[in-house]
Structure 1
Amino acid sequence: MEEFDIQALLSSNEKTLIRLLENYATTNHVVTYVLDNSGDLKSDIYGNTHGNQIFSELVESKNMNEITDKHVDYNLGYADKSIRISSIGQIIGRVCCVKSLDSPLNDTPGLLERQLHEHCEYLKRLIESISRLLIDNHGIGTYMIKYPVEVDDIIDELNDDDNKALQQLKKLSTSNEAIISAIEYIDENLDKHLTLDQVSSKVFLSDYYFSKLFKRETKLSFSVYLNARKIQKAMIILKQTSHSISEVSDELGFTRISYFSQTFKKYTGYTPSEFRNEDYLEI
């Protein structure tokens, strides 16, 4: 698997992007920095961080996710914009702008937030434009990290308890926009044979990062979640319609009825026929 190296991009060509971020922060009196998709800091912090004591402490501890999630509690204005590399169709991270709400220039409600969003939008476009030039000059391979397939990752997926996956769906909760979009796409396309590559590309993430993010946010691997959703819908169809088991299998994108029946039993403990015929079974 491969992942885009945002840190290599920022440091490329004698740190062109880093110098631009630093100069922009100084000129516009904001604090800027770049995070990867996991929320890890991939650049230095540019601009004056001394206007807010708590902000300075968070910056010192590199606790940038705390700023993202709780900036209002810390009296900070905050905005960010996703950075997308068009040549690979992936979001690789986000540029962030922060400023203390204690500034005397912040009397107009909402003005600072709008200004920070405008700063982020400008920096996003700037970074993406320069990135295209750097990639054209140096080649996309310069900025890609190749990861070996980890045995631990395979074991983690095997350890998913299939017969508990349906219960996990009931309590699933995430605020991550990429995962919410992925789940919506899956739910709208349960009749298709979806793959990890297809879904990750829909939310502009690499399959490597998307796989890890999906497991972190849902507590289920992509494949287990997908099958659980298909079986959950199959349970409803079996109880509420007279469709044959073969028709249900086809409606949910299974290539063979035998595989559908096998998967159904693995997730529910019953064959499709047993489930349909047992009136007391709850969905």
Structure 2
Amino acid sequence: MLNRQTYLVSNQKVLDKILQEFTAATDLPTILVDTQGNALTSSHGFTPFCQLMRQNEATQKLCQNCDVAGGHLALNNKRATPYLCHAGLVDFSYPIKLDDQVIAYIICGQAKVKDGAELQPITEQKNTLSTNAALKSAYTALPFVNLDKVKAAAKLLQMIINNYLTDIVDQTLTVGPFSSVPKSVQQGVASANDEVWATNNQAAQTANIDFKIQPAAAQTVIDHPQKAEIKKAIVYINSHLNETITLNAVAKHVFLSSYYLSKLFKKEMNINFVDYVNRKKIDRAIILLQDATWSIDSIAHNLGFSQTSYFSKTFKKTTELSPSQYRKQIQKNNE
């Protein structure tokens, strides 16, 4: 079992990058907090009002209590649920789990809405504005946000976690960017041209990178396996991507023989065990490569590859670009 603190530190840059991009895309502030409401990552896009609230010891505690209560609400509802914070702003939260234990919450929102009558306060609302001129001024300056936008952002956050952050969330979810296969292939068409592959590769669209999956390696991966053992195996894989993951270790975890797990995994997922693990590792590598502070050697090490050369070979087999070529393409597109 991974140590909670080690796991969070190991994944901090990945989480920080995701939250930064989510804020840039939605204009809604984000932060990752622990189960007591303490910040674990940078605060992205925080409004002046919320910055002031969290700088004051008394009101900071109110914010932390709301963050924790919002996380509990998401757990109870099994979805990111908008709510009113103690100051009357709309937030939503989503939990991060490790070994079926909540270790952190993603908090997003800080939205002032006109049409929030349907939402219930997550905690008792405090009138802190009447006695603090700076807070009152900062609150008044907040722009109004449409509640439908906040609800859509909550759904988007949940989709991102459920489809792209499976390496840091303890859930049985879909494979992620490299499992996106053109409809023509799903229907059994044997070939597809390069434009179709690039268009249907979500990671390429996100980073504006022209790379492709080799058609020979493409498979329609089953999103939701039926067997409990395979669900448990996927949770284990997604929670240990920064380690060397062996078939024997996973088989032991799910109480099956290696031979039977291999056969069952291929039958349930329509992809063999090793290819699935490598796809998940490459999905995560693509995120890390967009952060220039990560060297290719450190990315390989973080993903459990004993040799950088093998990591590069695996990356190129999947994307037809080496990690360094991929990074150069990112830098070129950002110029």
Q: What TM-score results when the alignment is normalised by the length of structure 1?
A: 0.39
The higher relative CO (CA closer than 8 Å, separation ≥ 6) is in 1
Specify the structure having the higher radius of gyration (Cα): 1
Q: What TM-score results when the alignment is normalised by the length of structure 2?
A: 0.33
